[in-house]
Amino acid sequence: MADPGGHAGRPMTTAPESDALIAAPDTAGDTPPDSGRDAARGPAHRTRVPARDGAQVVARDTVPRLSFLVVGTPRSGTTVTQRLCCELPDVAMPPETHFLHLFAPGLLARRRFPLTWPEVRDELSRFEALPTSAGLRLDRARMFELLGPRCDRLIDLFSALVVALCSPCSLTARYGEKTPEHLLWWRAMTSADPALKIVGVVRDPRAVAASHRAVPWGIRDPGELAEEWAFDQRSLRAARHRLGPRRCLVVRYEDLVAARPPPGPLADRPGR
């Protein structure tokens, strides 16, 4: 069985120190992610991503874009949150893409943005060949409509990928993506797109540990899992502090399952 959480048996790679996520390809000055208050290091097996604060972003208001990310420690209830979000009108989310933490580091090592459409096509073929991409239905024609003949930044590629993996929606639809490990990219992604929002899911760590023991790919080492959970909580606190409540909503899994339909803030905020 494939490991949907990106843990045992799947090595994590390290992103290069320049990623074209935010500014022009020739701009220098990247700093490590989660620097400052929310720690410079995380669990060694997790993917790291560079980020730059305060960079200019080119607005793309004329095309559908990624509106929010659902993130958190794996087995914390992100799938339940995704399902609840998808029950809301005009909200669309594809299955987990694992794009940022499994695919993007290799892409950034191979390529330099901007990418031509033939280069984008080649990278899409690589992405579709990943075991975690099995079953994803990517509309390449839709990708071209969204990107055109050139893709300037990684975040634009990711956003178009998410939209193209969803069924056609109304013009007012809000698109989200749920891959728990994408929490590690919160700073770079929200710096690249000032409209992007984060929905972070937190679960009692004892329940997280029990859930990991229930799946074959779960983390068995209590110390390793505790380190990962604690790092993720620091990351979510840092995101909440930096982005504020209008861009970062942190919800407890226990509250979600105790209240259906979902609480008002979750219903009101993704993509708005």
271 occurs within a structural domain: yes
- Whether residues 199 and 260 share a domain: the answer is yes
Q: What is the pLDDT of residue 170?
A: 81
Q: Looking at 165, 187, 212, which one is the last position of a domain?
A: 165
- Token pair recorded at residue 183: 């929490």
Domain count, the chain: 2
Intra-chain end-to-end CA distance of the chain, in Å: 37
- Whether residues 183 and 81 share a domain: the answer is yes
Q: What are phi and psi of 101, to 5 degrees?
A: -90, -20
- Whether residues 204 and 261 share a domain: the answer is yes
Cα–Cα nearest to 120, from 131, 111, 129: 111
- Whether residues 208 and 192 share a domain: the answer is yes
What is the spatial distance between Cα 272 and Cα 22, in angstroms, rounded to a whole number? 22
Q: Looking at 165, 185, 213, which one is the last position of a domain?
A: 165
Q: What is the pLDDT of residue 38?
A: 37
52 occurs within a structural domain: no
22 occurs within a structural domain: no
3 occurs within a structural domain: no
- Whether residues 151 and 255 share a domain: the answer is no
189 occurs within a structural domain: yes
- Whether residues 107 and 230 share a domain: the answer is no
Per-residue pLDDT of the chain (272 residues; tens, 9 = 90+): 334 444 433 334 433 333 455 433 333 223 333 333 333 334 544 544 444 333 333 344 557 999 999 999 999 999 999 999 999 999 999 999 999 999 999 999 999 999 999 999 999 999 999 999 999 999 999 999 999 999 999 999 999 999 999 998 888 899 999 999 999 999 999 999 999 999 999 999 999 999 999 999 999 999 999 999 999 999 999 999 999 999 999 999 999 888 765 444 444 445 44
Q: What is the pLDDT of residue 52?
A: 39
237 occurs within a structural domain: yes
- Whether residues 226 and 135 share a domain: the answer is no
- Token pair recorded at residue 40: 């410079």
The pTM score is 0.78
- Whether residues 184 and 74 share a domain: the answer is yes
Q: Looking at 146, 165, 184, which one is the last position of a domain?
A: 165
What is the spatial distance between Cα 202 and Cα 180, in angstroms, rounded to a whole number? 11
Look up the domain containing 68 and give its range.
59-93+173-272
Cα–Cα nearest to 76, from 179, 181, 201: 201
13 occurs within a structural domain: no
- Whether residues 183 and 263 share a domain: the answer is yes
Tell me the DSSP string of the chain.
---TTS-TT-------S---SSS-TT----B-TT-GGG-S---TTS----B-SS------TTS--EEEEEEESTTSSHHHHHHHHHTSTTEE--S---IIIIIHHHHHHH--SSEEHHHHHHHHHHHHTSGGGTT----HHHHHHHHTTEE--HHHHHHHHHHHTSPP--TT-EEEEE-GGGGGGHHHHHHH-TT-EEEEEE--HHHHHHHHHTSTTS---HHHHHHHHHHHHHHHHHHHHHH-TTTEEEEEHHHHHHSSSPPHHHHH-TT-
- Token pair recorded at residue 32: 């490590």
159 occurs within a structural domain: yes
- Whether residues 73 and 128 share a domain: the answer is no
- Whether residues 122 and 209 share a domain: the answer is no
Q: pLDDT tens digit string along 204-263?
A: 999 999 999 999 999 999 999 999 999 999 999 999 999 999 999 999 999 988 876 544
- Whether residues 63 and 192 share a domain: the answer is yes
91-92, strands of its sheet edge to edge: 91-92, 174-178, 66-72, 197-202, 248-252
